Structure 1
Amino acid sequence: MPVAYTIQPTYAIDDASLLETDLTTCTLLVLIGAGTFSYAVMSPLHRKFLALKSYSYQPKTVAMADLEMIEQIFDADKLLFTAFKQVLLAFDSPDNTLVPEKHFQPHLKKDYLRAVLPEKLHEAVLTDMLPDLGLVNVFAVDKDTLGFLRKEFSTDSVIHAHSALLKAYQGDRDIHQSEGLAFIEVAPQQFTLTIYAAGKLQMQQQYIYRSGLDIVYYIVNSLRQLGFAEQQARIKLGGAVTQDSQVYQELNRFLPRLEWVHKPDGYLYIPRMNELPPHHFHNLYALALCV
């Protein structure tokens, strides 16, 4: 007989302002990753983040097992049943590719994706238009998970997490430097590497890693292939990393111009959010740029 248990959040951040706010005027930003489910509540009127929760569970090889964990989160977290004014779903997965907008044809979206990635069972192929970059982000998500979340939230607003990161990076004050600027967004077991030079996107790719040295290898190799020296390029780090972690220590050992990313400017954050390191939940906060 299976053991029933209640899944608990890894982070749960809010204050009295959440109870004092009419949540039907608010936006819910939801980020779904490999073994992670996070969300933030934001007041569009005040451009203020009011709450944040993040759940982690053991990644499964079968997509339905991930869906079952998400269903357990819904059973445990009644805030998700609030009738928010708007809900945005974002999927953080490696199943995506960037296509130049001038060459993009909607009826070929699956072909663009299959040119670089193998087809998976029960997938839905979606697109994000990125006119500021002249690109289209083509991505695939599990059809059952997407259907469940669309039904529960009554929303058709779905994006890829990398699209939000690109919007956040475009606003970085250092993006126009010529010696190379690399952004790293670290999640459990995977990270996203995005490289710019003179304000132009050079590459964006998600990789699997086991140690900080794996991340160092991918960064150094990518920079060198693009003609940049890792000793000169600036590296901005975000995600679930602390200064005393093995990942940070390895990166700091080989990459001398390492620094942290910061939460998106132009928004207010409750005090408990400001107590966290500014690079934590950068990818979740970045979703606000897409609504």
Structure 2
Amino acid sequence: MFTTVLTVNTLDKIYSAYQHQSINFKPEKLGTYHLRLLMRKGLLQYAVVSENQKILAAKEYRSKKEMDFGDFFDAIFQQDYFLKEEYASVRVINGNLEFSLIPTAHFQARQIKEFAGALVKDNFDIDHLQYLNMDVGGATAVFSVPFSLKQKCDYYLNKPEYVPFCLQAINMSHWFAEKNANLLLVNIFEGEFVLTAMIDRKLSICNSYQYESGTDIVYFVQVLLEILKINPAETKMMFTGEFEADSELIRQLKKLIPTMIIPANQLQDTFETRSEKLPTWRYAYLTF
């Protein structure tokens, strides 16, 4: 287990919510490893991933009070050893969960602003509009990278690649679909979730929604099942993300969706070291 020493000035701002390090982690091989990082308001999660895409180390930071994004990142970077290292690659996952998916066959880069739709706000010029052709699903994602995120990551990290969260969700769903032809994957964060559906192992939908309680999540799941004419009895419903397995939210969801599962055991394969104590459902998305 690695440790991070927080100074007095930092302790009243941020705290380490979780940390894990595999016994197979080799500091001398950091240059061959990959850094995967996600930031949301008051939350930073990252993983150090091996050459064979297994999580060697994972860390989660949270803010104790509302903080400006730049101050939050500065406070973490000041203290965290692994963020200062050089990696074979660095991927920054856009934690605002905003994206638009367009069939790649119909996408044209010169029309990116039109394809972006609701992502383009009055002040869109202070964000960086980007697109990414995804191999899985035959779709192109249009997404914005907040200026403050790009400014800090470009300054602190080595040649970061920016990707939308839907890339992780779709790749993860495709991985699960190898054993489950029909599935719904729900990636939950505080106040928002991403719902991805695979039908006959093909991407059907990937979208983000806001919620206040478990009933909101269930509502969107039920609507999607009806729209796509999915038989719940023949569909795996998997839930991962920012929650505790015994939380009130999960108890509520299990009551309303008895067939839902948290694929903790299946996701053990995404970690270099297997352990029943690992909250695999919280961090596995970082490897996909």
TM-score (norm 1): 0.84
C-alpha change, 1:67 and 1:215, in structure 2 (3 Å) is same
C-alpha change, 1:42 and 1:233, in structure 2 (3 Å) is closer
Q: How does 1:35-184 map to 2 (within 5 A)?
A: 35-44=42-51, 47-57=53-63, 65-113=68-116, 115-119=117-121, 121=123, 122-172=126-176, 173-177=178-182, 181-184=183-186
Q: What is the alpha-carbon root mean square deviation over aligned residues? A: 2.5
| SS of residue matched to 1:8 | strand
| SS of residue matched to 1:158 | strand
2:281 aligns to what?
279
Separation of aligned partners in 2, 1:24 and 1:5? 28
Q: How does 1:220-259 map to 2 (within 5 A)?
A: 220-230=222-232, 233-259=235-261
C-alpha change, 1:20 and 1:134, in structure 2 (3 Å) is closer
**How far does the alpha carbon of each residue in 1:222-275 deviate from its partner, in whole angstroms, 9 at most, with x for none?**
211222355654311111233422221222122232112356576552356x52
| SS of residue matched to 2:87 | coil
**How far does the alpha carbon of each residue in 1:192-212 deviate from its partner, in whole angstroms, 9 at most, with x for none?**
111222222221111121211
Letter in 1 for 2:76: I
Separation of aligned partners in 2, 1:231 and 1:218? 17
**Total equivalences in the alignment:** 275
**Structure 1: runs of 5+ lacking an equivalent:** 287-291
Letter in 1 for 2:130: L
Separation of aligned partners in 1, 2:48 and 2:139? 29
C-alpha change, 1:59 and 1:210, in structure 2 (3 Å) is farther
Runs of 4+, deviation exceeding 4 Å: 229-232, 262-268
Letter in 1 for 2:10: Y
Separation of aligned partners in 1, 2:202 and 2:189? 25
Choose 131-140 or 11-20, whichever is displaced more.
11-20
C-alpha change, 1:34 and 1:162, in structure 2 (3 Å) is farther
Choose the corresponding residue for 1:215, options 214, 217, 220. 217
Separation of aligned partners in 2, 1:58 and 1:282? 25
2:41 aligns to what?
34
C-alpha change, 1:83 and 1:20, in structure 2 (3 Å) is closer
Separation of aligned partners in 2, 1:237 and 1:78? 31
**How far does the alpha carbon of each residue in 1:138-160 deviate from its partner, in whole angstroms, 9 at most, with x for none?**
10121232122022112142211
Letter in 1 for 2:181: H
C-alpha change, 1:244 and 1:131, in structure 2 (3 Å) is closer
Instruction: Give 1:49 deviation, angstroms.
Output: 2.5
C-alpha change, 1:217 and 1:231, in structure 2 (3 Å) is farther
1:289 aligns to what?
none
C-alpha change, 1:186 and 1:111, in structure 2 (3 Å) is same
Letter in 1 for 2:196: T
Would you say the 8 A contact 1:101–1:131 is kept in 2? no
Separation of aligned partners in 2, 1:166 and 1:34? 23
**Structure 2: runs of 5+ lacking an equivalent:** 1-7
